[in-house]
Amino acid sequence: MSAIVLSLAVLITKAWTHVFTLGLAGDFGKARREQVASDLWEQAHDATAGRAVAFSVLSRLVRGMPADIAWRVFVAPRLHRQRLTVNLEEGRAMSVQPGLPFGVGASGIGWAATLAFLITPVSHSLAYAGAGLALIALIGWLLEARDTGDDAKPSAWPPVLAASIAAIALGVPFDGGQLGLALSIPATLAFSSIALRTLASRPQGSIAVSSVSPEVLQRHALAGDAIVLERTADHRVSRRTVLQGSAWLGIGAVLAATGGVIVDFLWQRNVQGFGGIVAAGNISKYPPGSKTKITAGKFWLVHLTPEQGGPGFLALWQKCPHLGCTVPWEPNFSFKDAVTNETKRGWFRCPCHQSTYDDVGVRVFGPAPRSMDRMALTIAPDGEIEVDTGTIEKGAVDNAASAVTMPQT
Amino acid sequence: MRRKAGSIVPFERAVIEAGVELHASGTPEFHGYLLARHIKDATSARNLTAYGTLYKALDRLQNAGLLESRWENPEAAASDNRPRRRLYRVTANGHAVLAQQMPAVVPAPRLRLNEEPVS
């Protein structure tokens, strides 16, 4: 058991070391991974190490994480900022631009996302676009360690990251397809401009390549080409900048979270089901004389024949006006109508106290105080039925007068 | 972090001290874990030094010329069936800096309540 826990701790530590040395120029990452692997091995095989080795390993990992992150963010980018140029021949040069594939890739993803949002408006697309941007910005920031371009300006990625996190916060309460476009188009333009700027930062007239192998360098050196390796100006991030930045970021995050919660509470949800508009489908689904229970809306959709008081459609609330039992349609129940003295089969009949209603929901028998209640029903020109289950009118003997027919065009 | 040239922070000092002690006890070259264990014993710390702190301090000290390092012979590691060690050694410069900063910083005596400061 403890062996398994130890292997897990070792695995986690190695994985973290991999992550925070990812994409660093030169052999730095490899060297650090080997050092940590050696350290882990020595501790695991140290007879004097005591029992809780796995705990010690995890503790050493966690306590060192802030140093790793700080180093990666503030130190690594300027350690490896250098520009490699190979002067091929008179007036021509080869410039190594490791950031270029990333910039081009991010632009490609951005344009693809923009296209996707244009074709199919995805719900919460602003949040998705923000999440994608945040990921790209994070990778871009980490990969800047490999950037060899001449860039003395502050990094553009942290603001992109902050903006995309804000977009996620905004995108969750705002449910809309077009909002993603509002983010993805400017972001994609920004990515493209970063890629183009990387490309433009190379010495004039030189060919841009993303990487160059030692073999190629050797071949050029042997052919008499000059190889220039120059460190570019490093931009230091002062402690004051970091503190001010994080203070503003913190204030912004608190405000954004507060605002997001308020907006989220005030935002009207798309009301569906009982209490809102319930779509019942096309009139062609319901033959004349049919009575269909629409469970989502808690009503009976009745298609009346002329003999039943139609033609037209009625939405009768399934709740008995007497004590609220659910009224079923009893097609085989036979009953004599006291008004017409005719006996016929098929009635709405409440199982609780035998209140009985005819095809249009008019009460003919029982303790119910009135006829079955109606819901507002509309039929669109294309025959689609919508019932507003939030608008209920009290039932009356003239229920049939409220029957809705297909609008004449 | 900006600091005065030639100055070292307490933890880096502890690393150099541990290196010098290991040298005196017959281990002129040491790897990271050995150093961490020695620092823990020497300073009676509760935990071993974290990876993130230890190896970055070693890098800084090496860049400052107070330590030097080499990868051990791969055959030696392979014969023991373990990952190869990065071996560090305190340079003459390191010894000098440590000697220069002696005596060690002694923490100021803590005042207790109802106790007059010693004049």
Q: Are residues A54 and A38 in the same domain?
A: yes
**How far is A215 from chain B, CA to nearest CA, in Å?**
25
Average pLDDT value for residue range A170-186: 72
Average pLDDT value for residue range A103-124: 79
pTM over 0.90: no
* DSSP H or E stretch at residue A96: strand A92-96
Residue B53 lies in a domain: yes
Lowest mean pLDDT among A23-27, A284-288, A315-319, A395-399: A23-27
Q: For chain B, what is the mean pLDDT?
A: 81
Residue B18 lies in a domain: yes
Residue A265 lies in a domain: no
Kindly give the pairing relationship between strand A291-294 and strand A299-304.
antiparallel
Given A23, A45, A78, which residue is the final one in a domain?
A: A78
Residue B41 lies in a domain: yes
B49–A60 CB contact, under 8 Å: yes
B86–A37 CB contact, under 8 Å: no
CA-CA distance, B101 to B65, in Å (whole number)? 16
Q: Are residues A73 and A86 in the same domain?
A: no
pLDDT digits (tens, 9 = 90+) for A263-275: 888 877 666 677 7
Kindly give the pairing relationship between strand A82-89 and strand A92-96.
antiparallel
Say if CB A24 and CB A145 are below 8 A apart: yes
CA-CA distance, A235 to A237, in Å (whole number)? 7
% of chain A surpassing 90 pLDDT: 16
Helices then strands (H, E): number in chain B?
5, 2
Q: What angle do CA A384, A380, A290 make, to 5 degrees?
A: 45
Of B31, B52, B82, the CB nearest to A67: B52
CATH number reported for the structural domain that contains residue B44 in this entry: 1.10.10.10
Residue A233 lies in a domain: yes
Lowest mean pLDDT among A6-15, A92-101, A388-397: A92-101
The CA distances from residue A166 to A29, A82, A83, A129, A312, in Å, are 32, 33, 34, 11, 52
CA-CA distance, B40 to B42, in Å (whole number)? 6
pLDDT digits (tens, 9 = 90+) for A224-274: 777 776 655 445 556 777 788 788 888 888 998 888 888 888 877 666 677
Q: To which residue do tokens 């009503």 refer? A: A299
Contact of B54 with chain A, judged by CB distance below 8 Å, is answered with yes
**How far is B114 from chain A, CA to nearest CA, in Å?**
38
Q: Are residues A91 and A232 in the same domain?
A: yes
DSSP conformation class of A290? -
Q: Which residue has the higher pLDDT, A24 or A403?
A: A403
Comparing alpha-carbon positions, the chain A residue that sits nearest to B86 is A35
A63–B52 CB contact, under 8 Å: yes
The CA distances from residue A136 to A124, A128, A182, A264, B77, in Å, are 19, 12, 17, 27, 40
Give the ipTM of the model, two decimals please. 0.80
Q: Are residues A41 and A148 in the same domain?
A: no
Domain ranges, residue A293? 277-402
B51–A46 CB contact, under 8 Å: no
CA-CA distance, B32 to B71, in Å (whole number)? 12
Say if CB A194 and CB A144 are below 8 A apart: no
% of chain B surpassing 70 pLDDT: 78
Res. A380 pLDDT band, cuts 50 70 90: confident
Residue A272 lies in a domain: no
Question: Residue A373 has what pLDDT?
Answer: 93
Lowest mean pLDDT among A11-25, A46-60, A94-108: A94-108
C-alpha dihedral sign at A280, A281, A287, A293: negative
A-B interface: how many C-beta pairs under 8 angstroms? Answer: 77
> What domain count does chain B have?
1
pLDDT digits (tens, 9 = 90+) for A35-94: 999 999 998 888 776 668 888 899 999 999 888 888 877 777 665 555 677 777 666 777
Residue B92 lies in a domain: yes
pLDDT digits (tens, 9 = 90+) for B38-95: 888 887 777 888 998 999 999 889 988 899 999 988 888 888 888 899 999 999 988 8
- Beta-carbon contacts of A95 under 8 Å, excluding residues fewer than 6 positions away, are A83, A84, A85, A86, A202, A203, A206, A207, A208, A209
Q: For residue A317, is pLDDT > 90?
A: yes
Question: Residue B110 has what pLDDT?
Answer: 59
Query: In a 3-state reduction of DSSP, which class is residue A398?
Result: coil
B53–A64 CB contact, under 8 Å: yes
Kindly give the pairing relationship between strand A374-379 and strand A384-393.
antiparallel
Given A56, A78, A100, which residue is the final one in a domain?
A: A78
Of B37, B54, B56, the CB nearest to A71: B56
CA-CA distance, A182 to A211, in Å (whole number)? 35
Q: Are residues A203 and A229 in the same domain?
A: yes
Domain ranges, residue B61? 10-100
A64–B50 CB contact, under 8 Å: yes
Contact of A36 with chain B, judged by CB distance below 8 Å, is answered with yes
Kindly give the pairing relationship between strand A363-365 and strand A356-357.
antiparallel
> What domain count does chain A have?
3
Q: Are residues A298 and A385 in the same domain?
A: yes
Q: Are residues A96 and A231 in the same domain?
A: yes
Query: In a 3-state reduction of DSSP, which class is residue B46?
Result: coil
Rg of chain A on CA atoms, in Å: 36
Kindly give the pairing relationship between strand A92-96 and strand A207-209.
parallel
pLDDT digits (tens, 9 = 90+) for A127-147: 777 888 888 777 777 666 444
Residue B66 lies in a domain: yes
B50–A62 CB contact, under 8 Å: yes
Of A43, A46, A64, the CB nearest to B52: A64
Residue B58 lies in a domain: yes
B48–A56 CB contact, under 8 Å: yes
| Among candidate residues B34, B86, B60, B53, the one with its CA nearest the CA of residue A63 | B53
Q: For residue A149, is pLDDT > 50?
A: no
Residue A247 lies in a domain: no
Q: Which tokens is A275 given? A: 């209490």
Query: In a 3-state reduction of DSSP, which class is residue A64?
Result: helix
CATH number reported for the structural domain that contains residue A369 in this entry: 2.102.10.10
**How far is B113 from chain A, CA to nearest CA, in Å?**
35
Residue A253 lies in a domain: no
On chain A, the residues whose CB falls within 8 A of the CB of B31 are: 38-39, 42
Q: Are residues A6 and A27 in the same domain?
A: yes
Q: Are residues A213 and A88 in the same domain?
A: yes
CA-CA distance, A181 to A178, in Å (whole number)? 5
Residue A408 lies in a domain: no
On chain B, the residues whose CB falls within 8 A of the CB of A26 are: none
Average pLDDT value for residue range B104-108: 54
Q: Are residues A58 and A161 in the same domain?
A: no
Q: Which residue has the higher pLDDT, B70 or A162?
A: B70
Given A43, A78, A113, which residue is the final one in a domain?
A: A78
Chain A contact probe: residue of B2, B51, B62, B85 with most A CBs at under 10 A:
B51
pLDDT digits (tens, 9 = 90+) for A180-209: 777 778 888 888 887 787 777 776 777 777
Contact of B60 with chain A, judged by CB distance below 8 Å, is answered with no
Contact of B51 with chain A, judged by CB distance below 8 Å, is answered with yes
Q: Are residues A61 and A158 in the same domain?
A: no
Residue A245 lies in a domain: no
Contact of A13 with chain B, judged by CB distance below 8 Å, is answered with yes
Q: Are residues A388 and A281 in the same domain?
A: yes
Alpha helices in A213-372, H assignment, sequence order: 214-222, 239-266
Question: Residue B94 has what pLDDT?
Answer: 87
On chain B, the residues whose CB falls within 8 A of the CB of A17 are: 51
Residue A165 lies in a domain: yes
* DSSP H or E stretch at residue A143: helix A125-143
Residue B22 lies in a domain: yes
